[in-house]
Amino acid sequence: MGKGVAAERQKQRQKEESRRRRERGLKVKDYSIYSSLASVSRIVQHTVSMAEGSGEVSLADLEMAFRKFAVHGDTKATGKEMNGKNFVKLCKDCKVIDGKSVTSTDVDIIFSKVKAKSARVITFEQFTQAMAELATKRFKGKSQEEAVQLLYGLIAGKEPANAGVTKVAKASAVDRLTDTSKYTGSHKERFDDSGKGRGRSGREDVPDSSGYVSAYKGHGSYDSKVKEDE
């Protein structure tokens, strides 16, 4: 009897030990999976962060952005030269100015440095010189070449933002003045029901010359004349 109880207890202990081993094994396995996923996540985040604003950017892409900002707000601009105001806007819109490494003051100083003494604008070549100087300030710790490419990546493909530009609202008074359905008198005769102008027929009384007799201009007026005679 005592041996049977001891054997039963031994089996229970073995089952309990097996259960604990399985639990420990699952925990180790889950931890391994979690570690692998965390590593992949870190790699992906690192790759994305390196890809954003980076990569080999051609001068053609950079020049396209330069031209778009150069003509912003100036109908007479050709896109070959950029003034100081648009240069600052480019640096702000493209986040070259981050408020820490690069400020608006830094941008103004570098603009004055690369432009000609008596000039108020810079060429694309001078623009690239300015970007080279800003790159080392914006991306500290990077090599000159890598910093320039990172900065070019921020600018390429961008165009001026229109934030803060006042939009012209269509006033209710304008709506009333252009609503042809509310016109009266001779003005009403100048437009049809859809609001389209009638042209000459809306300005003048054009007689209908579609009668049987050549040059007859009283087509359809017989009934009205008969009534008048009666």
- Return the HEC string of the chain: CHHHHHHHHHHHHHHHHHHHHHHHHHHHHHHHHHHHHHHHHHHHHHHHHHHCCCCCCCHHHHHHHHHHHHCCCCCCCCCCEEEHHHHHHHHHHCCCCCCCCCCHHHHHHHHHHHCCCCCCEEEHHHHHHHHHHHHHHHCCCCCHHHHHHHHHHHHCCCCCCCCCCCCCCCCHHHHHHHCHHHCCHHHHCCECCCCCECCHHHHCCCCCCCCCCCCCCCCCCHHHHHHHHC
If you average pLDDT over residues 15-36, what whole number do you get? 59
Supply the pTM of this predicted model.
0.49
What are 134-161's pLDDT values in tens digits? 999 999 999 999 999 999 999 999 999 8
Mean pLDDT comparison of 12-21, 27-36, 161-170, 174-183, highest-scoring range: 12-21
Rounded Cα gap, residues 158 and 39, in angstroms: 33
What are 181-194's pLDDT values in tens digits? 667 766 666 767 66
pLDDT tier, 35 (very low <50, low <70, confident <90, very high otherwise): very low
Average model confidence (pLDDT) across the chain: 75
- Residue among 83, 101, 86 nearest 147 (CA): 101
pLDDT tier, 19 (very low <50, low <70, confident <90, very high otherwise): confident
What are 78-93's pLDDT values in tens digits? 999 999 999 999 999 9
pLDDT over 70 (residue 65): yes
Return the pLDDT at 169: 52
Return the pLDDT at 43: 35
Lowest mean pLDDT among 61-65, 127-131, 154-158, 215-219: 215-219
Mean pLDDT comparison of 9-13, 50-54, 144-148, 182-186, highest-scoring range: 144-148
